[in-house]
Structure 1
């Protein structure tokens, strides 16, 4: 059973735990706010080889209004650290994704993105934001809404790694990269580009919007195996900045800690942890 800890915004900010029956094998919960509908929870369930991505719509008090299935499949990559989420766009559309195996290797999987224009009742055919067609790792996704029903996708990309596996010391791997693309309302993949050519292999990314800018944070990786936190910024014209290190922690490790940063916007401030 999933337990939700929600902070209710009607008056004082008191957190309370809400029991939620996600079904057998429920895992990887993620929350998104829908200004016109309430709160959307996504999670995955497993039944043998079959995986399923689910959603539940709740009101501001955590009362469940309805639930449904986004997608299911027997060839998914289901993992505690790399998992789906949902974004609510300016049009009210929902966008979600799952990770689907592209080959037999453990870490060979693709990102599959779908959209619903009626609050989860119907979903489009999936599209893939990366166009390299390599049987390598693509995951650790962050999404941010853009204007006109577009969504900004960011992910870690293994097309240059030459491997679909994670070595114990990562020394023999080629570099993972941070890449971005925009998906429009018609499902077209636009503005594909590499933002950082050498990143940590399996650490979560995160992003936040501040005004018309999008700020993305991730764990970087130098040739000396320094894995500190970096940021890239997308301006109002859609141009991305060069990566900049947020703080020189000088954390040197030849292994992936599976521990990425988090970012949030509040007023005119960004908070990174």
Structure 2
């Protein structure tokens, strides 16, 4: 009986000690995570952050009514969001928790995108581009990116500044999944594909190309510009239903054959809706992703020093109860900051950690507690100056609004 009592006391002591440590840690995080008031209305969701490290913009959508949606953006000025500006308001949009609109800037020209339904079918929608030239006062709206005309899925877009006044765009494209009038696939493969193109400052589409003819159907794409050219990463799909992360690189005037960045061997008969994220400085590349291969959920990170031609062995960021939904930012050639979602003591958190390419990791910071449902969407992370900025959809009484915070880089 004495031994049992002693065991109970030790267990209680360790539990209390652990809770005290967590309480101290959360109090510390309260002092380093600084909130920024969101300038938009309630019923706002799907934030997207973009930065060239000199300026920072936030875009989002607001539900005006059950059928009307508005696409807005704001710029950060002196640690405050400026007055929101509206890009376009419309109906018949496809608004999805995982496939969010975006905005990107290049030398004063702004390019944004959203998804619009192309038929009454649930998963039939097109990518629409909006363009605002530096000297223009009004947006050109609903410009086409693709012209295949199929009533299929087109989405999961990534847009990056490319040349002085153009943009690189990559997206998932379901045109090969189109049915004929008898319900048969017009293309016998019937697969989701990933494609890319260049968009000029005038909205002209060029250099369209098929990157991979069979991919996972609803995981986010990601891309970066290295010293050699663009690289694109995405969740691939083999005939054996292996859905690991693949890369294709534009080098010496051509795109390389897609290859896995690491052989996780995740065999899954459905899309996990959990894409990778990449960042690059010159030819230094860092990639974060989620996998649940062998029924073990993990967030992983790899580095490359040659533009993505070869990668290091993966660094395990977290093997706790991770949900994934990752983001990554290189802060120099040696270090990256990774964010992800995981559940701890029945509470889900957005966490972030600094990682050196040698494998040295900082203590993770809990940015915020989050709702773990799909309504939270995919948290965003970007850095500007000496701070890392975060944005996500917060749910209160089933009503969404957007939260934004920043953490000084020296606190990681």
Q: Deviations over 1:72-117 (max 9, x none)?
A: 111100011001111111x321110110000011110000111112
3-state secondary structure, aligned to 1:198 = coil
- Given that 1:208 and 1:214 are in contact with CA atoms closer than 8 Å, whether structure 2 keeps it comes out as yes
Aligned equivalent of 2:96, options 59, 79, 97: 79
Query: Matched residues in 1 for 2:136 and 2:94: separation?
Result: 22
Q: CA deviation at 1:185?
A: 2.0
| Structure ID, larger Rg | 2
- Given that 2:157 and 2:171 are in contact with CA atoms closer than 8 Å, whether structure 1 keeps it comes out as yes
The answer to which structure has the higher helix fraction is: 2
- Given that 2:109 and 2:133 are in contact with CA atoms closer than 8 Å, whether structure 1 keeps it comes out as yes
Matched, 1:49 2:64: no
- Flag structure 1 segments of 5+ consecutive residues without an equivalent: 1-13, 164-171
Query: Matched residues in 1 for 2:142 and 2:101: separation?
Result: 14
Partner of 1:17: 35
Q: CA deviation at 1:33?
A: 1.6
Q: Deviations over 1:150-194 (max 9, x none)?
A: 11110000001136xxxxxxxx99210000111112221111111
Q: CA RMSD in A?
A: 2.0
Matched, 1:182 2:182: no
Aligned equivalent of 1:192, options 208, 215, 238: 208
Aligned equivalent of 1:69, options 78, 86, 90: 86
Query: Matched residues in 1 for 2:92 and 2:52: separation?
Result: 30
Matched, 1:272 2:287: yes
- Given that 1:70 and 1:120 are in contact with CA atoms closer than 8 Å, whether structure 2 keeps it comes out as no
Partner of 2:124: 108
Query: Matched residues in 1 for 2:135 and 2:240: separation?
Result: 47
Cα 1:17–1:267 change in 2 (3 A) is farther
Matched, 1:159 2:175: yes
Query: Matched residues in 2 for 1:22 and 1:209: separation?
Result: 32
Aligned equivalent of 1:221, options 232, 237, 247: 237
Cα 1:55–1:120 change in 2 (3 A) is farther
- Given that 1:144 and 1:214 are in contact with CA atoms closer than 8 Å, whether structure 2 keeps it comes out as no
- Given that 1:94 and 1:119 are in contact with CA atoms closer than 8 Å, whether structure 2 keeps it comes out as no
Partner of 2:406: none
Q: How many residue pairs were aligned?
A: 248
